[in-house]
Chains A and B, each alone.
Chain A
Amino acid sequence: MNYNWNWSVFFREVPSGGATYVDWLLSGLGWTLAVAISAWLIAFVLGSVLGVLRTLPSRFLSGIATTYVEVFRNIPLLVQLFIWFYVVPELLPREIGDAIKQMDPTTSQFMTAFIALGLFTAARVCEQVRAGIESLARGQKNAGLALGLTLGQTYRHVLLPMAFRVIIPPLTSEFLNIFKNSAVALTIGLLELTAQSRQISEYTAQTFEAFIAATVLYLIVTMIVMLAMRHLEKRVRVPGYIGAN
């Protein structure tokens, strides 16, 4: 294969001037981090609440959480993103819809991307929180209640502290997924890391350099997340319990 390698392409000035292709990659990385981290905040908070709801005795409350999970987990992420971006503004009252559409495009792309990604991932986090709670011996909840704690206190002081420790490994996977899934934002025009590398490949015809650079950046980010989560897992382990070795 006669490919013409040229790694110095990243230090060339971009056609619109005032920046190099490295700046494009870094700005892409910035958007990827921004989307992923803000989506993770939504996913973690909402997912935890829903996960708790699913394990409650109330049929009504657990029904709400179950419905949420089934809806958001069973619709492809890309379709959800398109619904939020193209369909929802049409369903709102006309003035609000138009206001959203006339917003600064980057802001509206960013907001749509992190909300869509956060709500999608919340369904997955919810299932893990539920699984974590259900993995605990039933005696723990009963013991908490027998000690005179309310149901809320039992969750707060007995069940959740253990459940979250148990699910750190699967949560790590979700957190990694959110970085990788953030690439869907390019379909609504947000210039995140994958979009920028495509852009560089289009402008310079140096496809492999552009995508190798993006791959390396994704790897660095996910490695850092993995190490941080492993460190967290060690810090909070309970000797003699799951995952404590």
Chain B
Amino acid sequence: MRGSACSSAWFSGIDMNIIVCIKQVPETTEVRINPETNTLMREGVKSIINPFDMYAIEEGVRLKEKVGGKVTVLTMGPPQAEAALKEAISLGADEAVLLSDRAFAGSDTWATSYTLAAGVRKLKEYDLIICGKQASDGDTAQVGPGIATHLDIPQVTYVKKIEEVKDKTIRVERMTEEGYEVIESSLPLLITVVKEINTPRMPSLRGLMRSKQAKITVLGVKDLDVEATHLGLCGSPTQVAKIFTPPARPEGEKIEGTAEEIAVKLAEILKREK
């Protein structure tokens, strides 16, 4: 039936429960390296919503607008991650949950997805979980699939389009290196989305007013059904053994002269390096 006229049979009134998982990250556009000390200069570095999660929020809100339902944003982080959740509300999310506890500190992707999955279970009803394809500070792309696995639900990563949603199924396009795949799945499902999927909206004045008054649910260890051995640093199989600044590249060679002379020199270099 693909490609036929009925292929975009959007069902309104499904009332989906959509969960969007987000992360607060340092704005890397602001992160600079001090050339003398070779250390991070993070003066004035703002915390923002992971850029890829902005597409996840937008897709959740668009889906809700189309088929009805509710969007809940979920994050794990320190108390100040509330700001990210409030921003998500200003962009159209309905409710927000923050998982915050010192016991969560030091979580790697295993423990993070374990904790977020416990948060999702706490919300009980859900049809679709949306995550950004990866976080800009870690770039691991592991937490989305991790949550799905902990919850024992299917996943589709790198989704670039939601083609259709029906009562209990969904059809999406998954981006690959060569093109894309069309995948159908039962619900509940977890998807991670790429930036091709939409253009995130700007916040709205009413959304900002709503977010200002929004009450964020904060859950800690005792609120979740979790085992301490799976949390935080303890629950994380990976350990950071060493952190170092990458060796600076050797000073480059400056090529000077007239445009003609430069072109001649470059042509020789290219011939050699090619």
Do A and B pair up? The answer is no
Which residues of chain B have a CB within 8 Å of any CB of chain A? none
- A residues engaging B (CB < 8 A)? none
